[in-house]
Structure 1
Amino acid sequence: MNLRNLFKSNIPIIWIETHEYERAKKEVEKIASEEGKDIRTWTITKGIQGENLKPKEEGFLKPEEEPYDTPEVPLNYITNPEINSTTLIVMDFHRFLDSAEILRKMLDVYEEARKNFNQLIIISPVTDIPTEIEKYVTLIELPLPDQETLKETLEKIVSDHEGLLDEKWEKQFWTNPNITKEICRAASGLTLNEFENAVTLSIASKNKIDIKDIFEQKKQMILKTAGLQIFDPKEIDEVKGLDRAKEYITKAIKSGLGKGSLLVGIPGTGKSLLAKQVGRITGLPTIILDLGMIFGSLVGESERRISHALKTVEAMAPCILFIDELEKGISGINSSAMTDGGTGSRVFGKFLTWLNDKNSGVYVIATANDLSLIPPNS
């Protein structure tokens, strides 16, 4: 769904899911400005802000007249009949949607904002949209930076750090376009903030940009994600034997054919070691998914965790996703409807759907001791 088209359609409430507040805000401001709209921003810490504020807006800006740190303020503002052709950007508004009054006011926003050509833009990293308003909110996800955006950011950072970079490396950077391509390709899946942090840290420590530092930033993504950990291939010695299986999996990964492999056998036959060794042979990062750590106590938490984990893994592509003893991670799935309200079935269903649809360069290697415990329809 195109954000620009949503503006042209005068959609009253747009929810942008992203962790990149500033990038989303700049994108909204750019489009709103082109559409000739006034632009205002509200946060709980600063209230309503914007350029060329009009006298009729002052009542929303003075804490003594109306506290600016209450969620009613932006909603009252955007529904005020004197406010028109205005885009109001609000941050983290999902935190206030547990109030019946706020939910009712959101429905008022939908009706009143459309009449006055106003728009409420919610920027939030989560999409906990209450049932009462979900039909009135248009949800879009801000895509991660594309290669062109990363390239522009990279070149700006290099220009800003002129004099701090190794002269030989800097000359190669500006004369060899492959260096830029390799860095930006390695950064695929990072937010713009994460990319900037990785690049500036590399410059500060090495006086150049090292792709290894980009991958270190990606490792941070793994560490912050429930159920995931990254495996260092240096931790194991070379696996002896199982040469045919090793050769088959290695060829499948390098050729890009196939989605993954399931290694089945009794415990102690080297299945897990083989899976980890393949990462060492191919030079790809190996990410371990612990399905047991995916499950949470809150309703919907497990489904969100598996979705977030799979998105994070895709951001690391090309890579290997390793699931050890798959049957234990999905134990009880056949009786999931009676034991956990179907959570286990939904989590595993999300994983299977992702596995079937993926084309992101993630090769899945799973091991199992007892094939009979895995549902036949899997």
Structure 2
Amino acid sequence: MTAEQLYEVPTTVVPVGDRPYAAALLRRLGPDVPEFQDRLGGALAGVERLLRTCTRDASDPRVRELTGHLAATGGKRMRPLLVLLAAEFGDPDRAGVDRAAVVAELVHLASLYHDDVVDRAPTRHGAASANALWGNRMAAMGGNWLLARAARMSADLVPDALALNSFTANRIVAGQLRELAGPGPEEDSVGHYFRVTAGKTAALLAMSLGVGAFQSGAPRAVADRLVAYGEELGLAFQIADDLLDLLSPEAFSGKEQGRDLLAGVPSLPVLLARDSSDPDDAELRELLAAGPAAGADWHRRALALFSVSRATVRAQSLMHERLDRARAALDALPPLPARHSLDALCDFVALRTG
């Protein structure tokens, strides 16, 4: 399957009742087992309805508008999809699986509200961000409301799922704080990057798989394997996003090429280029040291150099190492259609930068 085929999924706002991005992605990941596809597609539609309800059930209509904003603008719903795929290794119809999927997305949405406040981001999912519409304080409190809503829903989950959710919330906040603080005096920048990414990105993907497995009654050994898979997939996913920013035209990725580079985001290729001692990366190192203030051609030249840089090749190699570890975590799992989809998801991540 080509990258173009994998990307042939809706990226705009999807009305409740229609198949969301995750359901379309699931069809691409396969396998072509009608019972499996129908069950997962129906479950995703149910999760979408429950999510829209949960994000807009505040008594004050002004709060409802704020807390339901990002859920209404769309999103990939990758985390609910992972919950449902993990539940296939137990009883996917067991009570609370849909709630576990909504909890995972609520925590994710809350983190987006907080990230946009910290980054002063004007848009999210192609629409105005909550902070742009209501200001930083209201947006931050909206994120807090979503976290509280997730905590309330988590109370009905099985103990192992509840414990993992609580542990992950702590990891996410720690990752955000570590990112704001920057590397410590004795900490190398690449190591810091992976510790931040483990908390901000990988932790929630791992949690999604874990709570899906626990809530469905899957064996503990299976849940542990799925959590390990999620950790590695999350790290690879973030590296792929970093590479997309530098290598993919806006027509393919959906956002301005090099936007993170212009904003000074310390992505993995940037950090590797800064630390590189390769003579071929000398000009790129000088450009990164000068920054965007160096002139109008800075952005164009930096992107051109990243397209052939050894740092970019190294970042791609590190991404594939993480994907290989993710696939290895699946090896001992039963050969269910869900395992096929999780394995294909690794190919999807790799193809995003192909």
Q: Same fold (TM over 0.5)?
A: no
What TM-score comes out, normalization by structure 2 length? 0.29
What TM-score comes out, normalization by structure 1 length? 0.28
- By percentage of residues, which structure has more strand? 1
Relative contact order, CA 8 A, sep 6+: which one is greater? 2
- By percentage of residues, which structure has more helix? 2
